[in-house]
Amino acid sequence: MSRQKISIKTILFGSFIIILSILFTIILLFNNIYQENQMEIQRELILKNAVMHAYTLAEIKYDAVLNRDLDEEMAKEHVKEALLGEKLEDGTRTMDSNYSLGENGYFIIYSSEGEEIAHPRLEGQNVYNVTDSLDDSVYIVQEQIELAKNKGEGYYYYNWEYPNNPEIIGKKICYVKYFQPWDWVIVATTYEKDLKVYFEESKKSFLYTAILIVLIIIPLVSYIYKKITNPLFKLNRKMQHFSNNMEVPNIDCSTKIKEISEIESSFNNLSEELLAYIEELQGLNEEIENLNSENSAIIDKMNLLLDETSDILDFDNEKDFLKEVFDNLYSLIPEAYSGVLSVLEDGRVKYISSKNLDIEKLNALNLKTDEYITYNNVFTSKNTKTVKQDALSEEKNNSLNSLLSKKNESLYIPINGNNKQVGNLIFHTTGNDVFSKESFRIAVYYSKLISLFLKFEDMNEFQNNVQRQIIISLIKMMEYHDTYTKGHSQNVANLAEDFSRFLGYDKEFLNRIYWAGMVHDVGKIIIPQDILNKPGKLTYEEYELIKNHPVYSFEVLNEIDNLKDISYIVKHHHERIDGKGYPDNLKDKEIPIESKILCLVDTWDAMTRNRSYRKALSIDSAKKELIKNKNKQFDSKLVDYFLEYIKSNEPL
């Protein structure tokens, strides 16, 4: 591998960090702009929701009066206490309320004649002719009463002095609604400035949290990446220098990683031996011509070894790497007539490449791992067996002996990884040929190279774990933003993975759908908290905004190379079989199977968990909902399989 390839890896890593930073910045900017645009709507909704709660409470108490559970005066007092607290001896109210309307916000209840039915300080007074603090021609109480009685409910704006500083006039906003049974005009009012402060604090909290997470993630990922890869890059430069200049440079590759230290030591020893050998050849002038071809062959082999070592970072697939090593060794070891590469998988010996041996007949032996003899070191032998022949049938023994009838000596190279043997390479000579010491040293070198590659595989897994932690951090941010999401993403991921395993999908599918479940709601971080956590019914505009969260999730995940396939699963997890889903109105076979599964388990978890606006459904009720929506929202066959899955997991 050339230095440019290493530089590209470094650039890609840096690009990942930059993209992550830009992504967080865009989210923050979008959140700020969006909250500014939505502030007017949200503060009105706060007042409206408060009045609707008060109205509902009045209805409940009125029903209690009709049912003779309460007398009317006691029922009215219950409502007043819930909105403004208990009434004190001086006629004021304690303002001990569960409703948050800003620092100076409160409820008012008027009669149609303008009497203060409930007020923090003016209860019992008639304020019918009270006017706006900046315009005496505007009778604010009369207009509020007319608005409530004529239209039923609505918003009203006026100017009023601050309670603790009458010299300052502030703009107030209120929402009014008429409760006819008691002739009440219920009002929730506050100063616009108070609600603006509330939203500013929310934006600051979001900003500080995002910045803190970015500041923690970037240096942590950078440190771990450098700690692992720097020794590898130094070792690669050392080998390239030796390849180009035939001298060992003074490059410190010290590391605590055992396999890297071993390969460096092996390389240094082999380099010193080769240099000494070359010097010896150069000193024997009389034998130069005779040894010239041999010397060239040795140098070619060394270059091939160096190129193989350098290219170790290029392989993503373990079997492809082993096949490449097998082919190179066969070309580097002139005594080898035949050979075979095998791996131990699922309790069986699987032959994946061979030279001058029938691989189909070898695999037809169907050897079990307990019929196989493993060794830890490289060695040569004419008699050592790798198969427990006494454990094989006579037919298998005859077939094996027939395949190996031409062999004289065997060179055994174990494939060791994670402190266990995962396979081996075996080469055979024919006739009277035996393996040379040089071939044996090359085999030892490649044995350690294989161990290093398997260690690299573990390092790549570690880097993937770092990426998983970044994803989990995003999910944590989402859980802070949306209280319902906490635990929901993990539940959906686990359920999707387990149900897919029940359906018989492979490991790659299970891994893909698990992470899709973990991040399927990450786009909700852009939706305002008060909409996500709203206990009451959503407005049309609010629901349309929430419907955008799969698109937001897709746009975030699609920017990360390793998550592009997951991004499409997440984007379509709210599509329906009948085409009435969102965001793209896909139908039946147009919807990815992973998205269908995610839609099903997401809905199941939502139905069987408590929500802010309703209690969890029973298992039987949830099953009925699935059956009811077969071929509408859900895939019919998946529903049938899921009900079987649920039944198989129910306690006896």
Helix 507-519, helix 488-503: angle, nearest 10: 160
> What are the DSSP calls for 632-643, one per residue?
TTB-HHHHHHHH
Q: At 236, phi and psi to the nearest 5? A: -65, -40
Cis check for the bond before 583: say yes or no (omega within 30 of 0). Answer: yes
Task: Check pLDDT > 70 for residue 77.
Answer: yes
Distance (Å, whole) CA 384 – CA 114: 107
Residues in the chain: 652
Q: How confident is the model at residue 459 (pLDDT cuts 50, 70, 90)?
A: low
pLDDT at residue 447, rounded to an integer: 81
Compute the Cα dihedral for 520, 526, 532, 533 and give only its sign. positive
| Closest of 241, 260, 221, 299 to residue 12, by C-alpha | 221
Distance (Å, whole) CA 215 – CA 629: 46
Q: How far is CA 587 from the centre of its chain?
A: 27
Task: Check pLDDT > 90 for residue 156.
Answer: yes
Decide if 171 contacts 157 (C-beta within 8 A): yes
Question: pLDDT by residue (tens digit) across 16-32?
Answer: 667 766 766 776 666 66
What is the three-class DSSP state of 186? strand
pLDDT at residue 238, rounded to an integer: 67
Q: Residues near 569 by Cβ (< 8 Å), separated by ≥ 6? A: 512, 513, 516, 520, 592, 594, 595, 598
Q: What is the mean pLDDT of residues 103-125?
A: 91
Q: DSSP 3-state helix, strand, coil percentages of the chain (rounded to 5)?
A: 60, 15, 25
pLDDT at residue 237, rounded to an integer: 73
Distance (Å, whole) CA 237 – CA 200: 54
Which tokens go with 438? 């040089």
| Torsion, CA 20, CA 21, CA 25, CA 28, rounded to 10 | 60
pLDDT at residue 594, rounded to an integer: 95
Compute the Cα dihedral for 65, 68, 69, 71 and give only its sign. positive
Distance (Å, whole) CA 140 – CA 133: 10
pLDDT at residue 3, rounded to an integer: 45
Decide if 23 contacts 213 (C-beta within 8 A): no
Task: Check pLDDT > 70 for residue 481.
Answer: no
pLDDT at residue 397, rounded to an integer: 78
What is the three-class DSSP state of 610? coil
Task: Check pLDDT > 90 for residue 593.
Answer: yes
Which residue is associated with the tokens 């000579």? 429
CATH topology of domain 44-200: Beta-Lactamase (3.30.450)
Decide if 111 contacts 123 (C-beta within 8 A): no
- CATH 3.30.450.40 segments of the chain: 256-460
> What mean pLDDT, rounded, does the chain reach?
80
| Torsion, CA 31, CA 35, CA 37, CA 42, rounded to 10 | 150
Say which residue, 377 or 293, is predicted with more confidence. 377
Decide if 475 contacts 489 (C-beta within 8 A): yes
Distance (Å, whole) CA 578 – CA 422: 49
- CATH 1.10.3210.10 segments of the chain: 482-649
Q: Looking at the whole model, is its pTM more than 0.85?
A: no
Q: What 8-state DSSP symbol labels residue 250?
A: -
CATH code that applies to domain 256-460? 3.30.450.40
Which residue is associated with the tokens 């580097």? 332
Q: How many CB atoms lie within 10 A of CB 541?
A: 12
Question: pLDDT by residue (tens digit) across 273-315?
Answer: 777 766 776 666 555 554 455 545 554 555 555 555 555 545 6
**Could you tell me which residues are beta bridge partners of residue 118?**
109
- We find that the CATH architecture of domain 482-649 is Orthogonal Bundle (1.10)
Question: pLDDT by residue (tens digit) across 319-350?
Answer: 888 888 888 888 888 898 899 898 888 888 88
- CATH 3.30.450.20 segments of the chain: 44-200
